[in-house]
Structure 1
């Protein structure tokens, strides 16, 4: 055998030996992360070094405390989904086990996972307002300095931070970003940790007349602004990777990024327009009529719209991909906020009617518009400019309520938590301008 042939034969033999050793090596868990789009209280995506036997993974893995769940996927990618209706009141222990498709056992590993969002709020303090974070233990932490006013708050959709608009005593505004690092999923040996908060970073170089903010689950931030010096409107997209792109948009109101990313909803005189991130040049889909976008559903590209009808009534509609809007509710009341579960299986709407002492009512509807529940929030009014948001991990809604003024005396608003099934109300004793959920990051 020639030296060249000997070397080739030796190399092939080593490759075969290495392959056999790898095949005998037990599978490993290469990655685990919370899914950015969940159809329920929480979802984990797991990636293994080998194609796994799903039945063995489901049988050998454990959740503590015990919670109803299911495993989906095939090959080396598996997905753990908490079942609808599960309420997460404390962090879960996730013990991952199972065998690969050749019967080799995975070395068990245990992770701590907390899918619960935190509350971020603009809190009224002495000499102004401050951005604060409420952790799961009920303690509040400052996330920046005290500004005279913080009229707009926008948590980033991937949980990596918060954007806000501050205003000085002369009404001049600036846009800021506060980055933070959450640790809501970690090996049990490492443990979870409170978020680490970075100092605010300015995103506007000169004073603004106004600014609107929107974010998606990728962590992109859209900033619509009008600069004080020129008075001209300007729109910028601050991507999660740190790059910034100027967009040529003609909008008649605030532009909202689609949660799943890659698109935005632009209000125009003719109606609502859905277009890609390149703007009108990339094409658009138009929904004509007098409609406002109220809120997005978590999955499936669905959204809730408020239609203003010629007879001065309003309608709450759900729009689904490839279908015309479907009416869920019609009435003479003003629709001031809404929230949506999963693909629209449950919907909540906040209505107001009357003058002087307006009546605030919370409705719960199913996907056909059937009324599941109703609660009058007697003695309360919604803080102007705030909305309604769902925490699916604890099946609760968040809104900002102000006690109805008596004798012209102005009162302080507070965060309010509402059980999404019973509609029972629980108030948090904190004077705020607005409160929002910050998703786990």
Structure 2
């Protein structure tokens, strides 16, 4: 019974192993997931689907659809959208108290999509971070590396790697009957602890630790580069202002134009790169790393607890309670990253919002033109029928005149 209950609380990433049943903890009440999780999944699915569909439409109709950045963004949105389309099935699964009613094939496919999104989205985020690093820190030397064809090949490799990482879920996930409760759960029973530990460590290292290190390093270097460049621009602006100020003093005020003011706290070009512009870039950079960390760190902490329990390092009711109840809740945070990604990578940018506005205006103009065309066609058809009726009426009148004029 305890082993089956573990299957219920492991919708996406099962914690069921060949360990003996855990002790019963009467004082630790379970959280009811039948209402909470479906509600959160529904919100994530609706907002995430709308955001990713809009992002895909804008990127597909962009003036530079095959640029490196757009290629990675488009693949990220597609990967998130594939996962979000399977999320309603999991919401129904939780609302029916872990009773899977969609068949064995759907169980395997939905599980594979969850794992696939876990790896693919993080791989594409990592690729985007490295592309931004090359574009900002090494804009000239990276021209050959930042080729759209190379980006397409990189995306293909990311898809293949994500498929390989999600293959174990496709194979091991299956429907298991629980006669005591008259339900069928969609879960995993690992052959032994080695399988569970190997896949758990793969999730922690490949899907979190390494990408977090790469993303953090890229954006730290980008932030330092922007700050250093701003400082150099300010120093150049200061030296130029000092030079002009000294020249104005040497000429004794006999200048055709007003003397250049001495340097102050703000300087010409530095203001354009500093201030709000620099703050916006740095805050966007910080938001990327923070969102990735906050969304997935809690889930991987719970996974580490499960690993520690399997090794025998951690014991106690609090460990069992956390694994059973917080796995699904922390997964909600991880899944929300699919809805947040379009906001971070697309809608924050002014250019993207402008293209979205242009696309909406174009669609409205197209609908309006089509409506006017249909209206004109209807008016033309009505005019044609009216003129036809008038001709027939005229012909009848002429016929009547001819008949009246004929002798009896």
TM-score band w.r.t. shorter chain: under 0.3
Structure having the larger proportion of residues in helix:
2
TM-score (norm 1): 0.21
Structure of higher RCO (CA pairs closer than 8 Å, 6+ residues apart)? 2
